[in-house]
Amino acid sequence: MKRCKILYVIPASEQGEVEKQLTLLAAGVVKLPGDQFEVHVAVLSRTEPISLEATFRETGISVHFIPQTWSVDLFAYGRLKSLMKRLRPDLVHTWCFAGNTYGRLAAIAAGVPKIVAGEQGGENLRKRTISLAIDWYLAKKTDVLVANSAGIVDFYANHGIPGEKFTVIPDAVSPARPNGTNGTNGTNGTNGTDDMTRKEMFAELNLPPSQYVIGMAGRLCPQARIHDAVWAADMLKFAGEDFHLFLFGDGPERDSLLRYRKDLCISDRVHFWGNRPDVPRFMPHFDLFWSTGLHEGASHAILEAMSHQVPVVAPDIPDNRGLLIDGVSGCLIPEFAEDFHRRRRELAKRTTELLKSPEKRRELGQAGKTIAEDRFSPEAMTRRYVTLYQQLMS
């Protein structure tokens, strides 16, 4: 039986979530069966991402770099079209806006039989009108659109792309190694990455030890509503809780948040660590994980926390309901009709209750870990993609 030749088209960004998902799908421990699929990867990149190349080539996957100098680059489009004509893939699967735009235009011009486009993550919910117009046009020439959450489908349906064009395939999260800590107060243990203890973590970050550690990870943008977290941290400090709030990530709101932290005189409790590739080293030592964003898609950070058995406190929005069950596998904070004062107070209140109950944190963390392993495993994601590709090619 002839193998299906797949060409994935992605924009390069080292440590990006799309790269992680594609790596799990095409080059992970549980990957596309080699007797059914021949995999190639085209990377739109200004510089060759060495670690990404090594990851794929170690597993025998052909990697093709397409230099992209400008946002609108006809040379990159021409090279990608030539690659497709030479490879003659049976199916092209594109990811992210740049990959979706260049990849689908080239696939259409090269006469590729089947085209799949992935619309993943919160970037879709921040698109401008011109980007949405491009998506609308190309969707008509795409066989299947893959979303990682129902919220992404609803967003595009509200912008004129029919929901029946989509299939929902949740992202996967790599399981945490079993020797990690369990996110309960004061646990000193290994995190499954480099055996860093909680004491060593504080020493590495040059911080005094605290009773609790609350973590966050993601882009510092208006939609993430990080001001909610800083305000709630101020309430926890006022209530006498001994904690540190770690925020991993960067973005346009960083300067505003630093000023807000200074105004609240809470710099000793709230710490911005920027973009770091080693967040999993710290995550097993979190007692709680906060997510405050209004539009997340399916939050990779929440899934990471769940896989490390860290109880999650997050807004009660549709995408989070697809990950967490309030009071069972996490804690969902009502939106209170966008009354941010009530929402922030509730975040502080529910956090205080959980910090005082290690048994409840352990219960929520274990339930979240079970859900992450059962529903969001690499095995589950790979099965769904194999089924999709088989249906398209048949």
262-290 pLDDT, tens digit per residue, is 999 999 999 999 999 889 999 999 999 99
CATH code of the domain containing 59: 3.40.50.2000
Residue 81 pLDDT: 98
Band of pLDDT at residue 134, cut at 50, 70 and 90: very high
Query: CA neighbours within 13 Å on the CB side: how many for 364?
Result: 27
Q: Looking at 25-39, 79-93, 232-246, which range is the least confident one?
A: 25-39
pLDDT of residue 121: 64
CA dist 371 and 386 (Å) reads 22
d(CA 315, CA 321): 9
Higher pLDDT, 47 or 12: 12
Domain for residue 292, yes or no?
yes
- Using the 8-state DSSP alphabet, how is residue 19 labeled? H
Which comes out higher in pLDDT, residue 161 or 322? 161
Three-state secondary-structure class, residue 313: strand
Q: Distance between CA 281 and CA 285 in Å, rounded?
A: 8
Whole-angstrom distance, CA of residue 121 vs CA of residue 296? 7
371 and 387: one domain?
no
Is 239 in the same domain as 359? Answer: yes
Q: Give the integer Cα–Cα distance in Å for 365 and 214.
A: 14
In this prediction, residue 249 carries a pLDDT of 93
* 347 and 386 belong to one structural domain: no
Q: Is the pLDDT assigned to residue 192 strictly greater than 60? A: no
Strand partners, 167: 146
Residue 204 lies in a domain: yes
Q: Is residue 103 assigned to a domain?
A: yes
Residues 80, 164, single domain; the answer is yes
Does the residue 179 lie in any domain?
no
Q: Is residue 180 part of a domain?
A: no
Q: Do both 131 and 102 map to the same domain?
A: yes
pTM: 0.84
Separation CA 56–CA 322 (nearest Å)? 31
Query: Does 181 fall in a domain?
Result: no
CB 214 within 8 A of CB 246: yes
- What is 43-112 written as a DSSP string? EEESS--HHHHHHHHTTT-EEEEEE--SSS-HHHHHHHHHHHHHH--SEEEEEHHHHHHHHHHHHHHHT-
157 and 223, same domain (yes or no): no
Same domain, 46 and 152: yes
Whether residues 203 and 162 fall in one domain: no
Confidence category of residue 124, pLDDT binned at 50, 70, 90: low
Host domain of residue 260? 198-375
Q: What is the pLDDT of residue 1?
A: 62
**Total domain count for the chain?**
2
| 369 in the same domain as 383 | no
